[in-house]
Structure 1
Amino acid sequence: MTGFAFHNLGQDGAARRGRLVTAHGTAETPAFMAVGTAGTVKAMTADAVRATGTEIVLGNTYHLMLRPGAERVRALGGLHRMMDWPGIILTDSGGFQVMSLAKLRKIDEVGVTFRSHLDGSAHHLTPESSTAIQNALDATITMAFDECTPFPATHEQAAASMRLSMRWAERSRAAFEPRPGYGQFGIVQGSVFADLRAESAAALTGLGFEGYAIGGLAVGEGQQAMFDTLDVTTPLLPTDRPRYLMGVGTPDDLLGSIARGVDMFDCVMPTRAGRTGRAFTSRGILNLRNARFAAEDRPLDPACPCLACARHSRAYLHHLFRCDEMLGPMLLTTHNLSYYQTVMRGAREAIEAGRFAAYAAATRDAWSQGDDRHTL
């Protein structure tokens, strides 16, 4: 079994072209990871996810611990076998979901006591139990347990939250069971404050994680503030470890973050948008529910090779959504995830060729031109 490693294969400015090597295969970076919260990427089979070019899928500790339960997943052969995904799986620690979904939560030094949003049952999640649950799920990449600092926060509030997360990170690291090809990522916090981000990065790198995530962004601070925070954070992280920006974002967010040295991304945006009729394309975002598409007998995006674009018309996709047929969300989710992977593949090729800035500019220019029926 191979060891866990990140290889930096090339660089163009701060943008990095890399390869992540794990016990469950390799992933080319920059990489967009599909969100499979409850052990499935919504509206997609595992084969459909693979066909988009996706190499890493996410699972979530909070949701899977509530149902079907981590021990049941373990008894069924682990999450890889259960969801038909032998490739890389990254599991979120559950901290963000506890803060955003759980009822009657109480945070203290030990961890978080909360009631399930499903049935009100009481639970306690700590750095140790979160790490143990992720181990039971057989996650390739385990995330340290943290508190996602809300925005806005004062410097004092952000500092207290970040320092609690750093103490939890130390306990998460101690609880992690090292195995060949498996890794654990620490999560940099500190809101939009440069000094707190630097303090957090220093604390985490001292613990020697296999990778480093940047959390607490895309929570309302705006794109420029996010980019400014990345400008001061990514240079502080080890160059020989992967960098993961959590919960981001739009294709434009991805391009800007890659330019600032980020290697890995995840977001529910492409799959959630696909279920509601919104398509990301090479000419911007389209809402397939709009009446203008009812008679358009042409592909959603001729530049895209996915099933939705290669086999179906815009008129048919519009019809599916107007009739509330489940095939509509399935096809559009497949398209959106395929398009995100197309953007990532283009970024990798551009970095290799030393022309990432030109690629990003051309991609943004095409979005700005809009959906001209004569040129798309």
Structure 2
Amino acid sequence: MFTVGKELEGALGRTGTITTPHGEIRTPAFIPVGTRATVKGVLPESMAELGAQALLANAYHLYLQPGADIIDEAGGLGAFMNWPGPTFTDSGGFQVLSLGAGFKKTLSMDATGVEADDVIAPGKDRLAKVDDDGVTFKSHVDGTRHRFTPEVSMQIQHQLGADIMFAFDELTTLMNTRGYQEQSIARTQAWAERCVTEHERLTESRAGKPHQALFGVVQGAQHEDLRRTAARGLVALGFDGFGVGGAIEKERLGTIVSWVNEELPVDKPRHLLGIGEPDDLFTGVEAGCDTFDCVNPSRVARSGRVYTPTGHFNLTWAASKREFIPIDDDCDCYTCTHYTRAYLHHLIKTREMAGSTLATIHNERFIVRLVDQMRDAIDDGTFKDFKADWLARFYT
């Protein structure tokens, strides 16, 4: 399933190839997020044209709408959304925390301040309750009550039919106490064992379907001993690959990811969940991660925020109103080769849907291309110089 290419001298980074029933993924690679079987506002054909090798969808959201059984009947996630390449699904574990604690899209990446076992965002109601068997939650769509267990997550993800799926885990925040983190690691390990058992049963009972790989998810917050213990426990279960999850202090991202990857087998792929800013991607690649996903490129694009080699800027700024130039002269995306900043400024300011679409195409291409360039730099031995030069320009 995974072959290692060239290793990064003096670091854990490497190139490689993940082989799936729907094609190969050359790594390192950025995997754009199509939460509800679509990258918001962008056709799957456009995602292929901009260089995406695979897409990731969310099991929680697709379970609620349209239902995993409908996607199964359609022939699986790829067939349903007309995407011929590899697909990933996450387990729904992130939504257990984000909806349960009211944080929605983001979590605290600051370990200072409050510590509590029952973290809740200010002014929010808890929509999910975790116990040792699973999670009971209210739908954010219609308020109906539902129950996820490791077995249910596996059943949903098998119906969705992604090439790579993740074991059901409990994601904590950096604000949870050490004691709760210890309990959560034990719970996630127990859930992982149940996921493996159910995955094996479903694989046998659905023998006519393409093989699906199962990745375990390493939690443990900012604690080295918990991260290493969690990784070793999952390695023993024989997963096809691993996800590095959880809220992580940005300043310690490389250190924490390195703890995990030092424990994981070299011949298994490693996915860093929910990371997409350029400096974090460089750090993750250097620390040994092979694939990455994040909603950020598409989410910020919808408000007009776009990436350039010299940093971010917002298309809504008045300066763009009469700029009849591309977002980025060096970008080869459809947006930059056909449209000007002035036109995009007009679309975003008037809230035309085409504005979000064109900005998203650029941002996704920018990040996909950046990680592709990292892969090439590892192969030709120039990664350290490429990283230093690129970050100096972007963050000037």
Q: TM-score range by the shorter chain?
A: over 0.9
Give me the whole-angstrom Cα distance separating, in 2, the residues matched to 1:150 and 1:80: 32
SS, match of residue 362 in structure 1: helix
CA deviation vs aligned residue, 1:267-297 (integer Å, no higher than 9, x gap): 0000001111000111110111000111111
**Corresponding position of 2:136:** 113
**Corresponding position of 2:235:** 205
**Corresponding position of 1:326:** 353
Matched, 1:11 2:30: no
| TM-score normalised over the length of structure 2 | 0.89
Identity of aligned residues (%): 41
Contact 1:149 1:162 in 2 (8 A): no
SS, match of residue 294 in structure 1: helix
Between Structure 1 and Structure 2, how many residues are aligned? 362
The offset of 1:181, in angstroms, is 4.3
CA deviation vs aligned residue, 1:124-150 (integer Å, no higher than 9, x gap): 100001001000011111110000011
The offset of 1:342, in angstroms, is 1.2
**Corresponding position of 1:41:** 39
Matched, 1:182 2:220: no
Give me the whole-angstrom Cα distance separating, in 2, the residues matched to 1:174 and 1:252: 38
Matched, 1:161 2:188: no
| Residue of structure 2 aligned with 1:95, choices 77, 90, 93 | 93
Give me the whole-angstrom Cα distance separating, in 1, the residues matched to 2:388 and 2:127: 46
- How large is the Cα RMSD of the aligned pairs? 1.2
Contact 1:148 1:215 in 2 (8 A): yes
Matched, 1:192 2:190: no
**Corresponding position of 1:269:** 296
The offset of 1:359, in angstroms, is 0.8
The offset of 1:29, in angstroms, is 0.5
Select between 41-50 and 153-162 the one with higher mean Cα deviation.
153-162
**Corresponding position of 1:62:** 60
Residue identity opposite 1:191 in structure 2: A
Contact 2:32 2:293 in 1 (8 A): yes
CA deviation vs aligned residue, 1:11-49 (integer Å, no higher than 9, x gap): 113221111101111011001001011111111001111
The offset of 1:258, in angstroms, is 0.5
Residue identity opposite 1:202 in structure 2: R
**Corresponding position of 2:375:** 348
Contact 2:7 2:13 in 1 (8 A): yes
Give me the whole-angstrom Cα distance separating, in 2, the residues matched to 1:206 and 1:118: 38
Residue identity opposite 2:220 in structure 1: G
Residue identity opposite 1:272 in structure 2: R
The offset of 1:227, in angstroms, is 2.0
**Corresponding position of 1:244:** 271
Contact 1:21 1:181 in 2 (8 A): no
Any unmatched runs of 5+ in structure 2? 101-125
The offset of 1:322, in angstroms, is 1.2
CA deviation vs aligned residue, 1:95-154 (integer Å, no higher than 9, x gap): 111222255422111111111111111111000010010000111111100000112222
Give me the whole-angstrom Cα distance separating, in 1, the residues matched to 2:370 and 2:224: 30
**Corresponding position of 1:337:** 364
Residue identity opposite 1:88 in structure 2: P
SS, match of residue 17 in structure 1: strand
Select between 67-76 and 183-192 the one with higher mean Cα deviation.
67-76
| TM-score normalised over the length of structure 1 | 0.94
